[in-house]
Chains A and B, each alone.
Chain A
Amino acid sequence: MSSTPIFVESSRALPLVSAVVAFRSGAGHDPAGREGLARITARMLRRGAEGYTAARIEETTDSLGGELSVDVGFSASSVHLEVIKRSLDPFAGLGATVLSRPTFEVRELERLLREAEAEIIESQDLDQVLCSRAFRRTLFTSHPYGRPSEGTVRTLRTITGDDVRAFYRQHYTRRNAVVAISGDVDQHEAQDLVARILADLPEGTPATDPIPPPLQRPGRHLVFVDKPERTQAQLIVGSLGTDAHDADHVPLLIANTVLGGTFSSRLMQEIRVKRGWSYGAYSHVSYDRHRDAFSVGSSPAANDASACLKLTLEMLQAFIERGVTEDEFEFAKRYLIRSHAFDIDTARKRVHQSLVEALLDMPVGYHESYVARLEAATLAEANAAIHTRLSFDNLVLSVVGTHADIGQAIQDVIPGLSSVEVLPPGFDQM
């Protein structure tokens, strides 16, 4: 089993054992026109395996005090297994069967595809989800990071049993896997557990990453998702952000904390505390195997939406042009260093860090050296990182609201717009 990286964090705190079997392949591997395939493949693992119908998998899981779930991102597909310690042995057997001998029965696949389709339609009710999807679609355009990992109604309808089996055969292999075990097991038990779960998977080869680095879209682009009867708007403004390999990665994280990473941050103070315009106001820099998005978000009342967006843009411009102050920088550093205790206060969190590091090809020792790199970062590096990575000229602005009520006002506060797109709530269904 040496071909599979294995991370173990033992803890006797609770009689629980958790295993994450992750594969270095996700929605980024979906063929064009078959978006949703990676997710459907992972979900099909629960829909039947040798000796188990879908119902029996669920019943066995529940009766053992276990939990079996799957998660699919752009770069990875993960199977999560968790169980009360007394049932570890039979649950490991179930896990091995589900992972290694899925049946991919046609009727179950058809049923799952209909379920997934209904879920996509249902998600139109979630304004923040719509705003985020529209933002990513407009920022990344045709890049895989801009595609919905759950697929669309149209792409789901193209997925066949052969597609699922082929995806499974290619990606669910030992050499493409990374495993994290935490909880009430020692190293020896954990190794045995992994050996058992992976025993019947083929050796395979590590999947190559088909996703190219995303490119910043030039210009300012507004995408407006038009929903009726909105009393509130959802706003996201952003661009490309950071890559974990960037030399200025950690300085940018610190700078982002100043802008919108805490309750004391600039955005929260100006938008919420001083003006009461939004319940939340934040900024994020997320990362995947490649550079991902930087985003600023808020949820003002419809009447305040254009003023809130105007203020957000002014703050963003000031942030990009003038950077952060020494006081702000030192405060954010102290916050990040001291709150790091909560990144590692459980075995599950600690082992997850190792898992993500391996899965996303992050720099070796990323998490171990994180605090030291925070301590070493300087104000000049943070301000240089802002200048290097962010540009006020290149922004995507995503809004969910009632266009007839606020559409023009929103457009009026964005100088130099390169494009405007108004979409219906079901924009990503087809």
Chain B
Amino acid sequence: MQEAALREPSPAGRGEAIQPMLETLNQGSTPLSRITHDASIDFGPSLRVERFLLGNGLRVLILEDHHAPVISLQTWFGVGSRHEVRGKTGLAHLFEHLMFGETENVPPGVFDRTLEEAGAETNAATSLDWTFYHTNLPREALESALRLEAERMTRLILRDPQVASEKEVVSNERRQRVDDDVDGAVNELLYKEAFREHAYGWPTIGWMEDISAFNTADCLDFYRAYYAPNNAILVIVGDTTCAHALRLIQQHYGARAPSVIPVEDVRPEPRQVDERQVTVKKPTVTHKLAIGYKSPALGDFDHAPLVLLNEILFCGRSSRVHRALVQEQEIVSEVRGWVGSFRDEGLYDLYLAARGERTSAEVLEALDVLLDQVRREPVLPSELDRAKARLELSLLQGMETTSGKAEQIGFYETVLGDPGALFQRLAAYQRVTLGDLLRVARRYLLPSTRTVVHVAPSGELPPDEGEEDDDDDGDNDAQPGADGADGADGDGDGDDGDDGDDALTAEEQIH
């Protein structure tokens, strides 16, 4: 089997071929279906992503990749839980489930059945800033996949029984991911406490009472507001050509009208000036500790250095926190750290599982010593070099499949407006200095801007404690705030590696 490469020039990257192709495609086109070439954008050292625009506002990003006879087709919508309002949380995610239902020309169940019969795998994910739908398909199935995607973008039919049934599914998903899962529940609480104004404070999956209260009208309003070609990015990576893909896109999307997308109404998070601490009881065997420091937005200059600092502190067995707390002091069994990758300022969230009878307070005390150290003095040059190499490896590993490339293209186009931003980040990592790390440690690892969740096993706390007891609250202004969701890097011998930054945090697995 042939393998193409990050190293080989994409045929579509040869710009001179594009204009004649468009002239042919645009013969007889309507204003809505007319295609223009917006840019050729570097994607790594030699590949180029071609960005096209349809007259109706649909953005199309194509990367030809002829490794294998497969294609990854993704549709990224500029809507996530940040676009919801209190009382209607979880709507973006519920809606994502509903998008696999009936449309004007596709009866219930036929969407999945058609794609499965073609050998395709399809799914979706919702996060704070976006929602995306992805299908990995044999190249022969591109036309039927595009037909189905275009159909559901504007011709979805919503009926009460389907909405009711899907609410049940989402409620069960929530039980699985949050209510009966210590990690999930703690993460949700961490963001709730850290963000009191900004939409990042509520969970993407939504509060259970909100999920229960949705009706069909809520879903229809949401659909009409956000699902339109001018709020979507189509990403195609794989064994096709620009000309072929664009002809199909023009055919299936060219008649879809744009709509007026609501003005975003996100409230900046007031600056946190005091540490927030919460203690909860959970049916778990050991104490846990979750900490969220307010952290920069993905597009911020400080984001890359903070990601590197996280590598040095939390990622892999040679990281400082793992070495000190897991290996030397033996007071925790698991450590994770993740810098939120969001459009607005977010959380640098940390998670530690105490070992044996150790309490979260003991773990916090030991962790603070290590965090204080990186605020006081530079890390070693060798630590920074290792962190850079780890992130480079992680980036390369993420590029192995067509879907891996498509996710990076779609994510960075959606959040930063640049499909090749991943590689710019790699370059930014290489430029980071010891001084940069010292600066971000001092700027972001501040007790006054952190939220701490202590988890004690059920039954261990006296009755007057527990259950979300805030103390040392504090609000007050500024640091437009940020986001939330999982993240990680554990380690352990079985599965070391990975982590890194660009985590596409999401709710969802099976639709």
Q: Which A residues fall within an 8 A CB radius of B? A: 10-16, 42-43, 46, 54-55, 58-59, 61-72, 82-84, 111, 114-115, 118-119, 121-122, 124-125, 127, 227-232, 262-264, 269, 272-280, 299-301, 331, 334-335, 337-342, 344-348, 350, 425-426
Which residues from 274 to 311 on chain B have a C-beta closer than 8 Å to any C-beta of chain A? 283-286
> In the assembled complex, how far is the CB of residue B83 from the closest CB belonging to chain A, in whole angstroms?
24
- Chain A residues, CB < 8 A from B172: 232, 276-279, 299-301
- CB contact between A65 and one of B3, B5, B393 (< 8 Å): that residue: B393
Given A54-B317, A122-B333, output 8 extra A-B contacts at Cβ < 8 Å.
A119-B492, A124-B285, A229-B283, A232-B172, A232-B179, A276-B172, A339-B116, A348-B400
Contact A334/B318 with A14-B396, A121-B285, A301-B175 known, Cβ cut-off 8 Å? no
Contact B496 A68, beta carbon cutoff 8 Å:
yes
Contact with A along B78-114 (1 / 0, CB 8 A): 0000000000000000000000000000000100110
Q: B39 an interface residue at 8 Å Cβ cutoff?
A: no
Q: Which of B326, B334, B389 has the most CB of A within 10 A?
A: B389
- CB contact between B389 and one of A55, A62, A272, A335 (< 8 Å): that residue: A62
CA distance A42 to B182 in the complex (A): 30
Q: Which of A58, A66, A344, A426 has the most CB of B within 10 A?
A: A58
- CB contact between A277 and one of B168, B397, B399, B496 (< 8 Å): that residue: B168
**Smallest CB gap from B391: residue in A:** A65
Contact B458 A115, beta carbon cutoff 8 Å:
no
Contact A121/B393 with A59-B318, A279-B169, A279-B172 known, Cβ cut-off 8 Å? no
CA distance A344 to B458 in the complex (A): 47
Contact B3 A62, beta carbon cutoff 8 Å:
no
- Chain B residues, CB < 8 A from A262: 112, 116
Contact A264 B113, beta carbon cutoff 8 Å:
yes
**Smallest CB gap from B510: residue in A:** A280
Q: B402 an interface residue at 8 Å Cβ cutoff?
A: yes
- Chain B residues, CB < 8 A from A229: 283, 458
Show 21 A/B contacts (Cβ-Cβ < 8 Å), sorted by A.
A11-B67, A14-B396, A54-B327, A58-B317, A62-B390, A67-B497, A83-B393, A111-B327, A111-B330, A115-B326, A118-B356, A121-B285, A228-B458, A279-B510, A299-B175, A337-B119, A339-B119, A342-B119, A342-B136, A350-B1, A425-B285
Contact A264 B116, beta carbon cutoff 8 Å:
yes
> In the assembled complex, how far is the CB of residue A91 from the closest CB belonging to chain B, in whole angstroms?
11
Which residues from 347 to 405 on chain B have a C-beta closer than 8 Å to any C-beta of chain A? 353, 355-356, 382, 385-387, 389-390, 392-393, 396-397, 399-402
- Chain B residues, CB < 8 A from A121: 285-286, 333
**Smallest CB gap from B113: residue in A:** A264
- Chain B residues, CB < 8 A from A228: 283, 458
CA distance A70 to B69 in the complex (A): 32
Q: B9 an interface residue at 8 Å Cβ cutoff?
A: no
Contact A55 B323, beta carbon cutoff 8 Å:
yes
**Smallest CB gap from A70: residue in B:** B493
- Chain B residues, CB < 8 A from A127: 180-181
**Smallest CB gap from B69: residue in A:** A341
**Smallest CB gap from B71: residue in A:** A341
CA distance A306 to B499 in the complex (A): 39
**Smallest CB gap from A229: residue in B:** B283
- CB contact between B316 and one of A62, A272, A331, A347 (< 8 Å): that residue: A62
CA distance A352 to B511 in the complex (A): 28
- Chain A residues, CB < 8 A from B510: 263, 272, 279-280
CA distance A11 to B509 in the complex (A): 30
Q: Which of B159-167, B214-222, B410-418 contacts A (4 or more CB under 8 A)?
A: B159-167
Contact B3 A347, beta carbon cutoff 8 Å:
yes
Q: B4 an interface residue at 8 Å Cβ cutoff?
A: yes
- CB contact between A125 and one of B173, B182, B496 (< 8 Å): that residue: B182
**Smallest CB gap from B67: residue in A:** A13
Contact A12/B5 with A43-B493, A121-B286 known, Cβ cut-off 8 Å? yes
CA distance A114 to B327 in the complex (A): 10
- Chain B residues, CB < 8 A from A59: 318, 382, 386
Contact B173 A345, beta carbon cutoff 8 Å:
no
Total number of B residues with any Cβ neighbor in A under 8 Å: 80
- Chain A residues, CB < 8 A from B180: 127, 230-232
Contact A84 B392, beta carbon cutoff 8 Å:
yes
Contact A65 B389, beta carbon cutoff 8 Å:
yes
Q: B23 an interface residue at 8 Å Cβ cutoff?
A: no
Q: B121 an interface residue at 8 Å Cβ cutoff?
A: yes
Which residues from 299 to 343 on chain B have a C-beta closer than 8 Å to any C-beta of chain A? 316-318, 323, 326-327, 330, 333-334
- CB contact between B382 and one of A46, A63, A331 (< 8 Å): that residue: A63
**Smallest CB gap from B3: residue in A:** A11
Contact B169 A335, beta carbon cutoff 8 Å:
no
Contact B389 A63, beta carbon cutoff 8 Å:
yes
CA distance A90 to B334 in the complex (A): 30
CA distance A231 to B181 in the complex (A): 10
Contact A335 B119, beta carbon cutoff 8 Å:
yes
> In the assembled complex, how far is the CB of residue B312 from the closest CB belonging to chain A, in whole angstroms?
10
**Smallest CB gap from A62: residue in B:** B386
Which residues from 482 to 506 on chain B have a C-beta closer than 8 Å to any C-beta of chain A? 492-497
Contact A331/B165 with A63-B389, A118-B333, A345-B68 known, Cβ cut-off 8 Å? no
- Chain A residues, CB < 8 A from B389: 62-65, 84
**Smallest CB gap from A340: residue in B:** B119
Contact A114 B323, beta carbon cutoff 8 Å:
no
- Chain B residues, CB < 8 A from A11: 3, 67
Contact B397 A276, beta carbon cutoff 8 Å:
no
Q: B273 an interface residue at 8 Å Cβ cutoff?
A: no
- Chain B residues, CB < 8 A from A277: 168, 172
CA distance A12 to B492 in the complex (A): 30
**Smallest CB gap from B353: residue in A:** A122
Q: Which of B171, B183, B284, B493 has the most CB of A within 10 A?
A: B493
- Chain A residues, CB < 8 A from B1: 344, 350
Contact B458 A84, beta carbon cutoff 8 Å:
no
- Chain A residues, CB < 8 A from B390: 62, 65
Contact with A along B252-279 (1 / 0, CB 8 A): 0000000000000000000000000000
Contact A84 B176, beta carbon cutoff 8 Å:
no
- Chain B residues, CB < 8 A from A300: 172
CA distance A347 to B402 in the complex (A): 13
Contact A231/B119 with A119-B333, A122-B334 known, Cβ cut-off 8 Å? no
Contact A65/B165 with A125-B285, A346-B67 known, Cβ cut-off 8 Å? no
- Chain A residues, CB < 8 A from B382: 59, 63
Q: B471 an interface residue at 8 Å Cβ cutoff?
A: no
